[in-house]
Amino acid sequence: MPKRKVIKVGRSKEMDIRIVDATVSRHHLEIVITEDGNYFLTDCGSLSGTSVFLDKRWCLIKQEFVGGGQRIRIGSIETCIDKLLSIYKSNLNDTSLLLGAVKRNPNTGAIEKL
C-alpha cells in the first residue's frame, strides 16, 4: 500500500497549515491526498466545525471526500483545498517563513500568507 500524505490544519504552530483565527481549533482538520487526486477531509473534533459546500448549502462534516476546487469552511474561514495547498506548497522551501502560516484579511475575509 502506498504512503499517504496527511496534512494537518489548525491554529497550533505544530500544524502543516497554520490558520491564525479564534474560530479555528489548535488541530482542526486533516487532509489526506488520495491516489485519484481528490482529498479526504477529517474534522478532528473541532469546536466550531468543518463545513463543505454541497448541493447549494453548507454541510457540517466529520469526514468527506472533496475535489480541489470545492469550497470549505474551517471555523469561520471560507476557502478551498487548492488554495490551502498552494499556500502550504509555496512555503515548503522557505525557511524564513513559518511553515504554512496564514491569516484572515479583516477587510476581505481572504486567507493570506503571514
Going 112 to 82 to 62 to 73, the CA torsion angle's sign is positive
Supply the mean pLDDT for the chain: 81
pLDDT over threshold 90, residue 3: no
Select the more confidently predicted residue: 7 or 106.
7
In a domain, 61, yes or no: yes
Q: What is the CATH number of the domain that holds 17?
A: 2.60.200.20
What pTM does this model have? 0.76
Distance CA 40, CA 96 (A): 30
Helix (H, G, I), strand (E, B) or coil at 88: helix
Looking at the 3D structure of the chain, how many domains does it have?
A: 1
Parent domain of 28: 6-113
Q: Which helix (H) or strand (E) holds 57?
A: strand 57-61
Residue 103 lies in a domain: yes
- Gap between the Cα atoms of 78 and 58, Å rounded: 11
- Determine the average pLDDT of the residues in 32-36: 85
